[in-house]
Structure formats: C-alpha cells, structure tokens
Amino acid sequence: MTEAEAWKLDRIGSAKAGTNPTVLVKMPQSYAVIGDTQFLPGYCVLLVDDPNIDRLTDLPKRQRLKFLDSMDTLGQAVETACRASDSGFRRMNYEILGNTDAYLHAHLFPRYEWEPPEHIGKPVWLYDPQVFYGPEAALGPRHVELRTRIATELNKLKAAG
C-alpha cells in the first residue's frame, strides 16, 4: 500500500478527517462513499460514522433507522445515476454483511443486463477476485462523471428530505 492509499487503513477516520477521497456525501449516521473498485459501475458503500459500531443492532433504534434511511437514499441516488449512465442498468442489490470489516457498513451494487449470464441472479461475491479487485476495475478518472451524478442525486435527495 502506498502512502497515498494510507486512508484505506482507517476508512471511517479518514472520512471524518476529510482525507478519504471516496467520500461522496456525509449522511445521517454515515458516509456515502464510492467503491474503490468499480467492476460494476456505481458500486457504493455506506460507512457508519462511528468505527465502534460493529453491527446494525449496536445502534439504538432511532439511529438504526437513520442509517437504514441513508442506505435507501444512497441506493436511490445510485439507481438514478446508473440508469441515466447505462441503458443496461437492471436493479440494485443492498447488502449488510460484516464478515470481514469490524464496523457497520452496507454495500450497494448496481446490477446490469450486460453482466455474464453465469452472474445474473447471483451474489456479486461469486465474481472472480481478479475481476472484482483487478486493476481494470480500480476507481479512476473515467468514473468522475458517474461519481458526480451520484453525488448530485444524493444532494438533491438530502435537500428534498
């Protein structure tokens, strides 16, 4: 990992410090971030804003509902942006897993008609890790327009909120 990627060691702390380059918008109880892998364009993650929150049930009910509402809002923004960017957009998948990272976060995956047939209708985690995390999937300059669309939609939805 390079020094420029050190923010990945503490994604929530770096979001709070303003040094996480994937942050799109601060949301209630969370940060909306674009995934540093974009093998499915528009992939985003909702990070809880307190790294001591390990699971959804660690939050009091009111805060839990705010987190889930933020997940819904992010999903709506991603769907709107991806539908406008790619005619092959099919649907959104939402996942709160918690198997690897010990802090609450939700994965939001846009799904597309152009995905290989063996992946349609199956979890994204079944993709080959070389596809999922390969260099051609890395977040980069070619994602600026989609990232901007998602952030714009998020800000519209927050303002209408």
Question: Please, which pLDDT band fits residue 1 given cuts at 50, 70 and 90?
Answer: low
pLDDT above 90: residue 3: no
Q: What region does 29 belong to: left with phi over 0, alpha with psi -120 to 50, or beta?
A: left
Helix spans in 86-133 (H): 129-133
Contacts of 78 (CB under 8 A, 6+ apart): 42, 44, 92, 108, 110, 150, 153
pLDDT above 70: residue 158: yes
- Summarize the confidence of residues 9-24 as an average pLDDT: 95
Mean model confidence pLDDT for the chain: 94
Sheet hosting strand 44-48, strand order edge to edge: 23-27, 30-34, 44-48, 105-112, 89-95
- Summarize the confidence of residues 94-122 as an average pLDDT: 94
pTM for this one? 0.95
pLDDT above 70: residue 28: yes
Q: Hey, is 44 helix, strand or coil?
A: strand
Ranking 22-31, 35-44, 79-88, 97-106 by mean pLDDT, the lowest is 97-106
User: Which tokens is 35 given?
Assistant: 């995934």
* β-strand partners of 112: 89
**CA angle in degrees (0–180, nearest 5) for 50-10-66:** 25
The confidence score (pLDDT) of residue 93 equals: 97
Question: Would you kindly state where each structural domain of the chain is located, as residue ranges?
Answer: 3-160
Q: Provide the CATH number for the domain formed by 3-160 in this structure.
A: 3.30.428.10
